[in-house]
């Protein structure tokens, strides 16, 4: 079984965007929360697509 290495920058960005998204939802900032949510989904999708071809 092969275990992928954890990329600290990806975890940091995803955590910060997730925390920001929760804060904007809690503060009822609809436009900002939609922007952050789309950025988070785009970032995670890009990370997933970029990691498909890698072999360790």
Contact between 24 and 32 under an 8 Å Cβ cutoff? The reply is: yes
d(CA 29, CA 23): 9
| DSSP at 52 | S
Give the pLDDT confidence score for residue 26 in this predicted structure. 93
0.85 exceeded by the pTM? no
Kindly give the residue spans of alpha helices, DSSP state H, lying in 6-56. 8-26, 30-50
pLDDT in tens, the chain (56 residues): 555 676 788 888 888 888 998 999 999 988 989 998 898 888 878 776 766 545 44
Phi, psi of 52 (to 5 degrees): -70, -40
């Amino acid at each position: 079984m092969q275990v992928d290495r954890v990329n600290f920058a990806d975890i940091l960005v995803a955590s910060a965007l997730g925390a920001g998204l929760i804060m904007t939802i809690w503060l009822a900032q609809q436009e900002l929360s939609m922007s952050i949510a789309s950025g988070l989904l785009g970032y995670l999708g890009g990370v997933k697509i970029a990691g498909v071809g890698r072999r360790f």
